[in-house]
Chain A
Amino acid sequence: MEYNGTLPAYYNFAKEIFLYEDWIQNASTGALGWNNTTASSGTVVMSTNVSPTVVGNVNLLTSTTASGRAGIALGTASMTFGGGRCIITWLCKLSRLSDAGSAYTAYIGYGNNGTAPTAGVYFSYAHGTNGGNWVLNATDASSNTPTNSSTAADTSWHKFTIDINAAATSAEFFIDGVSQGTVASNIPQAAGATHTCSPQCAIVNSGAAHASSSEMWIDAMQMYQLLTSQR
């Protein structure tokens, strides 16, 4: 029995999709078969930053190389929206904040390319954008609707949740369960490469050599979709 967002119900795989990853493994592919996306000396590694409350985690490292980047994703084009309410939560931590000497952008949510998504729904952070506060994004066919939040990025563990409604007319963003705002346009919902994405996190250096490598640590991910029509 599970909770479908409204009522207790018996799980129906023809109508529900449930994904859970905790990265308690030897490899970043985890239990779900994650893809790594890296460029310009960026790397994806399993972390040894284990503690009693952090049980296995994967690290995305940019390196100090210009445009160095690292991402992890479940494919690049496995999903589009509008078929039913879809909720994803990432449990993530930034190792340091972006600054002028080592500027980067972090993306958490859905994306399609290991860098700034051309299709996706995601949080983004860069120190020079929105005063270093998180930005809420929906991007479809490279058309982006950004909404500024008033929550500053920090280096603590947080739960980043995106709740896309059944018709994909609204996506509400949460950090640690607290709503950050809503985006109501450019939520991908058509077939075709320019409209499809997948669960993805990425961290991308700006186009200059950096004093420090930047990292995103990911402890766990969970996604649930309740399809409107049984498949």
Chain B
Amino acid sequence: MATINCLNEPTVATGKILQGQGVGVASNFSTATYPAIATGTGTILRADGTNYVASTATYPNTAASADIIYGTGSNVIGSLAAPTTRWQVGTRLNYSGSSPNWMNFAKEIYLYEEWINSAAAGALGWFTQNGGTATITVNDVVSPTVVGNVTLNTGTGASANAVVALGDNLRPMTFSGGRCVLTFLAKLTRLSTAASRFITTIGFISNSGLPFSAGVYFRYSDNANSGNWQMLATDASSTTTTNSTTAADTNWHKYTVDINAAATTATLYIDGVSIGTVGTTIPQATGTTHCCQPGCEIENASGTQGVSSSISVDAMWMYQLLTTQR
């Protein structure tokens, strides 16, 4: 029996390769084309929808057990090795700000609060304090998209204030040990006015009421910076204030404070949009005048106010990547 196993065709389009078509069937050239040479170490063949071409990205030649493959640079596919320390067993994959990594509690701090609780202490054990006519309530603005919350209400009393903070006067944090990013999801229920004036602060704060001795925080009142948010850094009661052009409103917003590793600059964001930077008096020394904690505070101006003001807080998270493993 004769077997025809090769196409009798003297020329063919560039890049096509001869392929078997089945036993007893004449071979033929591929529809897709292939590159003639393999340039670019680490590239692989990839279908572009019509032909096979070398990938732009390069890939590693080897992998170890439990490696995670990911983009380590522009058009470079690399790998993340499994952790080698015992205290990283059981830890999750997270994003450290520059690359994926296995969470390392000796080098990273992560706090998350949703206030899905019956008390303002929440899951993290928040310190709360309300002075004068101020009150603190929980789960008062719950909706399908607001799952648990705490609200700080001033009442109408002069200088009445309410605060929720992790630490009160113990002030568990100072900076320059590594990049630290804090976000509060919060909402003002009304804007400050001359008749019912209040001041609110969001971020890292140090005391249960103004003035703060240390912190990096958002500040709002109607009679400062035309009712736009201000950015403050305070160290040992010395404050640097930067004005933003973002007006306060009564919507839910994500208020983020991002302090760089050396604590030489703090960038503040609302809903992911930078509203400015503070570059001096970011607390970074030991001692109570230099230490602070995540917190929010609201307080009435002096004199009885016409109506109560409040700030509701839905959630908080904080991440710090220590520069040196502790």
Contacts and interface: CB of A to CB of B under 8 A. Distances in A.
A55 B172 contact: yes
A159 B87 CA distance: 9
B90 interface: yes
Interface string B237-254: 000000000000000000
B105 A220 contact: yes
Interface stretch (B183-191, B192-200, B228-236, B284-292): B284-292
A183 interface: no
B89 A4 contact: yes
Contact of B177 (A11, A22, A49, A53): A53
A72 interface: no
Contact of A87 (B68, B87, B165, B322): B87
A177 B85 CA distance: 6
Contact of A219 (B111, B168, B171, B326): B326
Interface in B75-97: 82-83, 85-93
A151 to B, nearest CB: 16
Interface string A141-158: 000000000000000010
Given A2-B93, A5-B90, A26 B170 contact: yes
A52 B176 contact: yes
B177 A26 contact: no
Interface residues of B, number: 50
Interface stretch (A27-35, A110-118, A203-211): A27-35
Nearest to A57: B172
Contacts of B320: 55
A87 B93 contact: no
Interface in B40-97: 65-66, 68, 82-83, 85-93
Contacts of B294: 24
A226 B110 CA distance: 22
A50 B169 CA distance: 12
A130 interface: no
Contact of B167 (A26, A53, A87, A89): A26
Q: Which of A49, A57, A222 has the most B CB atoms < 10 Å from its CB?
A: A222
B134 interface: no
Contacts of B175: 52
Contacts of B125: 25-27, 29-31
Interface residues of A, number: 49
A192 interface: no
B102 interface: yes
B170 A22 contact: no
B171 A224 contact: no
B326 A54 contact: yes
Contacts, number: 148
Contacts of B32: none
B185 to A, nearest CB: 19
A222 B89 CA distance: 10
Contact of A31 (B123, B171, B174): B123
A229 to B, nearest CB: 17
A34 to B, nearest CB: 10
Best-buried of B82, B175, B177, B326 by chain A (most CB within 10 Å): B326
Contacts of B102: 3
B93 A26 contact: no
A123 interface: no
A6 interface: yes
B11 interface: no
Contacts of B4: none
B86 A3 contact: no
Contact of B326 (A3, A87, A91): A91
Given A1-B92, A48-B171, A224-B91, A24 B106 contact: no
Contacts of A224: 89-91
Contact of A16 (B90, B171, B178, B291): B90
Contacts of A2: 90-93, 103
Which 5 A-B pairs give the minimum distances between C-beta atoms? A224-B90, A52-B177, A56-B172, A26-B127, A89-B87
10 contacts: A2-B93, A3-B82, A24-B111, A26-B168, A50-B173, A52-B176, A56-B172, A57-B172, A85-B89, A91-B105
Interface of A: 1-8, 11, 16, 18, 20, 22-27, 29-31, 46-57, 85, 87, 89, 91, 157, 159, 161, 163, 174, 177, 219-220, 222, 224-226
Given A53-B324, A54-B326, 13 more contacts: A4-B89, A7-B82, A20-B110, A24-B173, A26-B168, A27-B127, A31-B111, A31-B125, A49-B286, A52-B178, A53-B177, A55-B177, A159-B106
